[in-house]
Structure 1
Amino acid sequence: MAKLKIGALPDDKPVRVTTDLPAETHRDLVAYAKALETETGKAIADPARLIPVMLDRFMASDRAFTKSSRRAND
């Protein structure tokens, strides 16, 4: 199996955000959590904990976003 894009979940103080997910997205999130459990050997009690890590990875891999963020910080 190929290595998943996210690893262990960071232990950080969260900010609560409430949102609704399409049923298909939720099913995929649960399946991803199970795949990550298999890969890391660590149980994931709440698949929703993956969402912030996935968003971080997505934003970090978005070249236009990272480029505009660098410009805004200059």
Structure 2
Amino acid sequence: MADLKLPQLPDRNPVKLNISVMPDLHLALTEYAALYASTYGRDEPVVELIPAMLAAFLDSDRSFTRNRGRG
């Protein structure tokens, strides 16, 4: 087996989730998407922003990142 610098890439097959949100959260997400569009000059649908938002949230949770993989 070759000794490559690049490790094997992780699984990148998306997993589809279906969720329901309360109307106030839907409104906030829609408003966030509008602010994103005015900030970056690029419209992105809420469903495209949510995965990045969740990843950013999890990455910013120090307790989660510290304890991840211990269980």
TM-score range, shorter chain: 0.7 to 0.9
Q: Report the structure, 1 or 2, having the larger helix content.
A: 1
Structure with higher RCO (Cα < 8 A, 6+ apart)? 1
- Does residue 15 (structure 1) correspond to residue 21 (structure 2)? The answer is no
Q: 1:31 to 1:13 in 2, by over 3 A?
A: farther
Aligned length: 59
Matched residue, 1:35: 35
Q: Residue 60 of structure 1 contacts residue 66 of structure 1 at CA under 8 Å; is this kept in 2?
A: yes
Runs of 4+ displaced beyond 4 Å: none
Rounded Cα–Cα distance in structure 2 between residues aligned with 1:27 and 1:13: 29
Matched residue, 2:66: 67
Percent of aligned pairs sharing the same letter = 31
TM-score if structure 1 supplies the norm length?
A: 0.71
What are the ranges of 5 or more consecutive residues in structure 2 without an aligned counterpart?
Answer: 1-11
- Does residue 55 (structure 1) correspond to residue 54 (structure 2)? The answer is yes
Rounded Cα–Cα distance in structure 2 between residues aligned with 1:43 and 1:13: 24
TM-score if structure 2 supplies the norm length?
A: 0.74
Q: Residue 29 of structure 1 contacts residue 48 of structure 1 at CA under 8 Å; is this kept in 2?
A: no
Of structures 1 and 2, the larger Rg is shown by: 2
